[in-house]
Structure 1
Amino acid sequence: MNNLGLLTFLASPLKWCYLLTLGDAMKTTAIEKPHLPGTVTVKLAPSDRDRIASLAIMKKRTPHYLMKEAILEYVQREEARQNFLKAADTSFEHYKETGLHITLDEFGAWVDDVQKNPDAPIAACHT
């Protein structure tokens, strides 16, 4: 199987689902049969399947492509959010340990300066 991905649309009297293969980007061990390596099962309501199918036709893409892109964009966004929160926590811990900071007025003045001169240096931290 290649890393481009595979989409299988399964229909049974009891359930509908898309099976997405995301290559090495995402793997799972809890998969309903049939078991395909690197496959993720996404259960969708019929109305959501229809919306995805309609959008895929309009964009001249496959439903698999749209779902894969949506998942990867979500993961990227959430990873960035988690990195931001971690950086904020680290910064706050550093402040608590050292007391180094700049005031809101100093920050505001720097923002004004940057609009005129993009290379304007930020104010030095102090206690």
Structure 2
Amino acid sequence: MAISVKIDDDLKSRVQRLAESRRRSSHWIMREAIEQYVEREEARASFRAEAQESWVAYRETGLHLTGQEVRDWLGSWGTEEETEVPTCHE
């Protein structure tokens, strides 16, 4: 599927300079930028959906971990005293 994107002359020049410095085509630079943008926005949407699901689950069950419990658990990573994920509680 071919898509045409109109960009102003300043942005076009910037893309061309970047492409030359990276020894890539302008097309490659623009495709890469679009791909990274779409991946980032998809990840952001997934994060929001997961956060919303977590909020709904918390409201329904009241189960949670405190911030300190999470910090303590993460702080144990990579140490001899590494602990398992704490159990959620009310």
Q: TM-score, normalised by structure 1?
A: 0.66
Q: Structure 1 residue 57: deviation in Å?
A: 1.1
Q: Give the gaps of 5 or more residues in structure 2.
A: none
Larger gyration radius, structure 1 or structure 2: 1
Mapped to 2, the partners of 1:85 and 1:49 lie a distance apart of 34
Matching residue of 1:70: 33
Mapped to 2, the partners of 1:118 and 1:57 lie a distance apart of 51
Greater fraction strand? 1
Q: Which residue, out of 58, 65, 80, partners 1:102?
A: 65
1:1-127 paired onto structure 2 within 5 Å? 38-117=1-80, 120-127=83-90
Distance 1:118 1:48, change over 3 A: farther
Mapped to 1, the partners of 2:80 and 2:38 lie a distance apart of 35
Amino acid at match of 1:94: A
**Segments of 4+ in structure 1 off by > 6 A?**
none
Distance 1:71 1:118, change over 3 A: farther
RCO greater where, 1 or 2, for CA within 8 Å and sep 6 or more? 2
Q: Secondary structure at the match of 1:94?
A: helix
- Coordinate RMSD, CA, aligned: 1.6
Q: Secondary structure at the match of 1:101?
A: coil
Q: Structure 1 residue 126: deviation in Å?
A: 0.9
| Equivalent pairs, count | 90
Greater fraction helix? 2
- Summarize deviations over 1:52-90 as a string: whole Å, max 9, x none: 111111111110000000000100010001001100000
